[in-house]
Amino acid sequence: MNRRLILRTLGLVLLCEAAAMVPSLFISFYYTGEDSRALMISIVITAASGALLALVKPESLHVGYREGFAIATFSWLLSAIFGSIPFVLSGVLPSPVDAFFETMSGFTTTGASVITDLEVIPQGILFWRSFTHWLGGMGIIVLTLALIPSLKIAGMQMYKAEVPGPTKSKMLPRIAQTSRELYKIYLIITIVEIIALKIAGMNWFDSIIHTFGTVATGGFSNKNASVGAYDNLAVEVIIIFFMIVCGMNFALHFYALRGNFRPIWKDPESRLYLGVILSSILLISGNLVLSAQFEIGKALRDAAFSVSSIITTTGYATADFDKWPLFSQLVLLMLMLIGGCAGSTGGAIKNARFLIMFKAISKQFVKLLHPQAVVPVRVGKEVISQDVVENVQTFFFLYFIILSGATFYMAGIGLDFISAVSSVAATLGNVGPGFGAVGPMTNYSGIPDSGKVILSLCMLVGRLEIYSVILLLSSKFWR
């Protein structure tokens, strides 16, 4: 294990995080400045810690998969720890556990919150809270690789440990080029949505905050009632569009920005993703109309926003779906598990894994009828290797083991069944709001501290897709 190189890389990550806090300081100065001292001290502490680690001189630049997994996991942990300092020092969240929960929720783009009144928080802290979404959406490691060319040797190992999805592919020959291209696309989408929301009626600050939450599929708002506070159809339509776009594989946007839209229409995962969204909207809106809760226009509007928000794991809300009929709630719970596409900013299991599992199950039925047949697992025109199929099967098993275990724990500390299941599903899938005590119109402030720690770990495990975190718990990993 090349521990010195791991420490040096973690130092570079912290230096990037310290630099990322600077815009929040400027925002603070522009408004009241009451949180500027907390932000300045946080920047100094983070930068000093990063500089000390970055001074460590590695004996070798050779990095294997173990180093890549260690760097990915510890980068996210350290980013959440140091990112929580502004919340503690400003007094917004004096409890370190609450501050860590909020920051982990931000970086992992979960959007679960313990803050009870957002509208009294200084703008600098609010900006930092939402900016953690933007930083975590495309990935802390991907950003570091894009900014620091010296990590090019370790790039692919780190990239594989962080980027979501059952398969990892590069759009360009060098991983640093791929990382920079991903962030260019990410930045373009961000700028376009900010302008669109401003035109739709938001002020500049609100449009920036909600854009960070949308493109990262995170869901932090600066309003207690989330997007529902605006009651603006144009705002909702814009956010729906960008949530769906950012829940798709960003490699497809790479081709689309070059005028080639065919990969989007031909991609089996995208077709499944869009089909699930459309069918879920129709099912829920029909259920709402039949239950006499809404007229058809209102039902379609609320269903479209809620479905788009949940399947992309964004977590914004315009309606209290905790009061909807049980059928509609079950559809949303299913969407919490499905999530977005591989290579997107969305969380949960991913449509690609469901596709591969469906194909693998189909293969087993064919083999029962024709035992001697050679039947490949094929998604579209691509033949999926047996290694990837086994990886997906193991992922499903681990996902539901963790979901079950954490649910038992949450029930053991006093949550009712619905709240326990949905709180774990919402944090493990990086969704944010759940049902019951953690519904869209409430938050996680009532969860005991031990529960917040467990849910914070669920966020980390969900964002790094289990393997990177679980591997570090194995004694064999450290030998």
Question: Does the annotation list 427 as a binding residue?
Answer: no
Q: What's the CA gap between 69 and 72, in Å, rounded?
A: 5
314 is in an annotated binding site: yes
What does the buried/exposed string (b/e) look like for 454-477 if buried means 16 or more CB atoms within 10 Å of the residue's CB?
A: bbbbbbbbbbbbbbbbbbbeeeee
> Do the annotations mark residue 438 as ligand-binding?
no
3 state DSSP class of 378: strand
Determine the Cα–Cα distance for residues 226 and 302; give it in Å rounded to an integer.
14
CB 101 within 8 A of CB 458: no
CA atoms within 13 A on the CB side of 222: 23
Does the annotation flag 431 for ligand binding? yes
Mention every residue, 6+ apart, whose C-beta is less than 8 A from residue 78. Answer: 10, 13, 14
Using an 8 Å Cβ cutoff, are 321 and 332 in contact?
A: yes
Helices (H) and strands (E) in the chain, counts: 22, 2
Of the candidates 166, 238, 199, 188, the residue with the CA atom closest to the CA atom of residue 384: 166
Where is 433: in which H helix or E strand?
none
* Chain-centre distance for alpha carbon 378: 28
Tokens 């049980």 map to which residue? 326
Consult the annotation and say whether 218 binds a ligand. yes
- CA–CA separation, 104 vs 430, rounded Å? 10
C-alpha 183 chain-centroid distance: 16
- In this structure, how many other beta carbons lie within 10 angstroms of the beta carbon of residue 148? 17
Asked whether the beta carbons of 462 and 104 are under 8 A apart, the reply is: no
Alpha-carbon distance of 442 to 325, in angstroms, equals: 18
Q: Is 190 annotated as a binding residue?
A: no
Residue with tokens 């829940």: 247
Contact call for residues 332 and 240 (beta carbons, < 8 A): no
* Binding site, annotated residues: 109-110, 218, 313-314, 430-431
What residues form the annotated binding site for K(+)?
109-110, 218, 313-314, 430-431
